[in-house]
Amino acid sequence: MSEPKLRKVNDFLWEIPKEGKMRVPGRIYASAEMLPDVTRDNAHEQVANVAQLPGIVKFSLAMPDIHWGYGFPIGGVAAFDVEEGIISPGGVGYDINCGVRLLRTDLQRKAIEPKIKEVVAALFRAIPSGVGSKGQLRLSAQEEKQVLVEGAHWAVKNGYGRPEDLDKIEENGKMQGADPSVISAKAMERGRPQLGTLGSGNHFVEVGYVEEVFDQRLAEALGMFKDQVTIIVHTGSRGFGHQVCDDYIAVMMRASQKYGIELPDRQLCCAPVKSPEGQQYLAAMACAVNFAFCNRQMITHWTREAFEKAMGMSPRDINVQVVYEVAHNIAKLERHRVNGKEMELCVHRKGATRAFPPGHPDVPEQYRAIGQPVLIPGDMGRYSYVLVGTQKAMEETFGSTCHGAGRVMSRHQAIKSARGRALHRELEDHGIFVMASSRETMAEEMPEAYKDVSQVVEAVHGAGISIKVAKLRPMGVIKG
């Protein structure tokens, strides 16, 4: 393992100096105490590798939840000039538009505690979970194409949700430019039965409550209050997005050679943003983005139904509303100021969250005075956070922040470490009822496999690229 060359910029920011073929320096947001975890798996080397790609501007960035990923680190942010820069599937990731939706209710913690097992069981029955799980829908090929173009709008149009849900989704729940004609038959086949499913790995639906409010004004603006019951939905584009990524990595391997792009790592394969291959990937990625938007909308619909059945209450009494939904793995064409000049950039956020400031036109009107809500889930045994974006994030990180806790153990290590333990009982002893599709999933996702998300959140709050609003505590979880 190489010794990281990190220069301290301030208490929450470290710089990898520009050297060799790097076009810009690298920068990692973290506290000093997090550095051993941040550098443990050499993900900082991936930050330096990304800095070598054509057209990158300002810095190759990483958030405090950084860990090793395919080509780009997870927790990585990089922006490329659309005229001279590239787009890379490795900078988006395999689970395209993996993301988080936060729902709030009118219920208080005391109302749900006696029924938490019934609520979790109802969610587990309503939302198919686990590897290869299939949804309740039987889409035709034509309907699937409509989903890829319309995203969450397709779900609402077909009775799975409310029109007001759409206002609270990044991109309004529908990314423009999606073109199903650039999608392979294999991706279409994999996606068709999986709409409205949770999938495996770190994906979950979590019922919790607001344990602590840090900023009363911001919490009220988000419609949140202490002891309020909340629900987090974390999932992505399932096998569809995975196949799109796989298909276009093959395309980009050839494109990198065709355009003479020197790669420090083959996993960074890419094409110029404006090339035919770059434009085709953008159109394909948008299809997967829309699949994921629709997926979370369907799950929201079934979550509402499951709550009503388990609690024996009317929709009006529970009043499940979308607070906001953010995307984690995505590339977007955005305008930012670089060295005083406004530029159109292709911003890659891989395991990172957009965090636009107050007043930005892409923030929903209801939240424009406070900035974009930022949702940071932790592990199933501890807590999650709600924050908002800042002007400083706009200036330093292209309006980006962290996305979660970040792993400290591989899945294999976690399974080994959990051997002989009854994790579900341990969690129940802490007041958290968990149902998972397999014991292995529980082991892979045990709390110790992740960094303490509070350290990650303190780092971005301390750096000023997000502001803490509230802390959420889990009561019940279903895992994919």
Active site residues: 403
C-beta separation of 159 from 137 below 8 A:
no
Q: Residue 131 has which token pair?
A: 């590897």
> How far apart, in whole angstroms, are the C-alpha atoms of residue 74 and residue 47?
10
> How far apart, in whole angstroms, are the C-alpha atoms of residue 213 and residue 123?
27
Q: Can you tell me which residue has the tokens 């350290």?
A: 455
* Nearest partner of 448 among 480, 405, 403, judged by Cα: 405
Q: Can you tell me which residue has the tokens 């050499």?
A: 42
Q: Can you tell me which residue has the tokens 């807590």?
A: 383
> How far apart, in whole angstroms, are the C-alpha atoms of residue 77 and residue 310?
41
Beta strand 7-10 pairing with 60-67: unpaired
Q: Can you tell me which residue has the tokens 């996993």?
A: 267
C-beta separation of 377 from 343 below 8 A:
no
C-beta separation of 368 from 79 below 8 A:
no
* Nearest partner of 285 among 349, 344, 193, judged by Cα: 349
> How far apart, in whole angstroms, are the C-alpha atoms of residue 193 and residue 196?
9
Query: At CA 174, angle to CA 191 and CA 88, rounded to 5?
Result: 70
Q: Quick one: CA dihedral 46, 47, 50, 51, positive or negative? A: negative
**Long-range contact pairs involving 427-432 (C-beta distance under 8 Å, separation at least 24):** 427/380, 427/381, 430/381, 431/475, 432/380, 432/381, 432/474, 432/475, 432/476, 432/477
